[in-house]
Copies of this chain bind each other. A is one copy, B any other.
Amino acid sequence: MSRTDRFTITYQISAESGGLAEKIADRIRVEQTVEMPPDTVPEQAASSFAEILSLQKQEEGIWNASISFPFSNVGDDITQFLNVLYGNISLLEGIKILDVDDSLFKKLFSGPVYGIDGLRKSLNAYDRPLSCTALKPIGLTTSDLAGLAYQFARGGIDIIKDDHGLADQITAPFKERVISCVRAVRKGEQISGKKTLYFPNITTSPTKVLDRFRQAAALGADGVLIAPQLTGLEAVRDITDEKCLPVMAHPAFSGSYIMHQNYGISAGLYFGKLWRALGADAIIFPNASGRFGFTHEICLRMHQQMTKPFCNFRKSFPTPAGGIHLKTVPSMKELYGNDTLFLIGGNLYQQKEGIEAASKQFQQTLENSNEQI
């Protein structure tokens, strides 16, 4: 079978010896394809096997393996690709997926519909980072939340999203909340004189998320928030296929895949390539030096994966979040650059001068592109 019929996955294997690393690579070759003793595979399915292209020692106990798979094992099915990527081997220790070659992404995915350029255009905001905040906390009524949305919009925030814990609770039911917050944001825009986008959280049962997306669009939302690992990953592609609203992806429930050094999926591949390929226009990730344990190096790698040339896909807006403060925005801007959507939640609520003033200050810090504050 020629190389164009196959794609390659790169794995990091933790093993005490080269022999054991080989065994694990061979295990992947079988487990993620025919899943039966190789000598029982009939001739007509022999081309289904993966093939080990290389196995190289990186450092003591760590090996990298490149293994190629036939596209025909996947078909046109993204969910089946995820199964080939990490189905059964998620149950094995010592295997971490580092990369998948672009040919796979090109074949199955189409990337963001809007991306960085689309979001910039709808906000008429070029040459600066964008701002984002969250309506919270859970337990507030629709009218409380709409009141907050109004203040943030008066302050000129670029994107206001629901907290990812706002679902369809009785305190602020989805439909009522979207109607009121859209109205509040439109009202606030009249004061600020600038555009503000409102993204309600549509995360719900996998089979119902598309309906909730359509409902958000019909009610006048400017985009949506979704937690792909809760709805099932391919749901992102399905809603972006509707091509009517930008999608911001939230990392809830996904930490198990990306938090471990020797296990799971690399954060750059998972958030940076996979979620971008699925079509997330903005991707929230846990910021270094915030509440979560990511290093600056990992964060920068994710940022880079979301914005560098990749299969002609549009760029996803890297959206660092978690523990960003008004005071740290200048240094974060320095670190990540203009193509960044900064999400500040809690710290805007902490400012003594109130939400509208804090939002203005946040916005101003981002607009002063060439100054150090």
Contacts and interface: CB of A to CB of B under 8 A. Distances in A.
A309 interface: no
Interface string A17-34: 000000000010001011
B137 A41 contact: yes
Contacts of A234: 204-207
Given A207-B235, A254-B90, A83 B164 contact: yes
A90 to B, nearest CB: 3
Interface stretch (A60-68, A69-77, A113-121): A69-77
B40 A79 contact: no
Given A92-B293, A137-B33, A169-B75, A346 B40 contact: yes
Interface stretch (A99-107, A257-265, A362-370): A257-265
Contacts of A227: 83, 87
A168 interface: yes
A140 B77 contact: no
Interface string A80-109: 101110111111110000000000000000
- Point out which of A27, A39, A82, A253 has the most chain B C-beta atoms below 10 A from its C-beta: A253
A279 to B, nearest CB: 13
A136 B293 contact: no
Interface string A212-251: 0000000000000001001111110111000000000001
Contact of A79 (B36, B205, B293): B205
Contact of A206 (B36, B164, B238): B238
A235 to B, nearest CB: 4
Interface stretch (A42-50, A124-132, A150-158): A42-50
Given A84-B165, A86-B253, A286-B91, A144 B73 contact: no
B34 A137 contact: yes
A252 interface: yes
Interface of A: 27, 31, 33-37, 39-42, 44-48, 72-80, 82-84, 86-93, 136-141, 144, 163-165, 167-171, 203-210, 227, 230-235, 237-239, 251-257, 259-260, 263-264, 286, 291-293, 345-347, 349-350
Given A77-B168, A93-B293, 4 more contacts: A33-B138, A40-B350, A90-B259, A91-B259
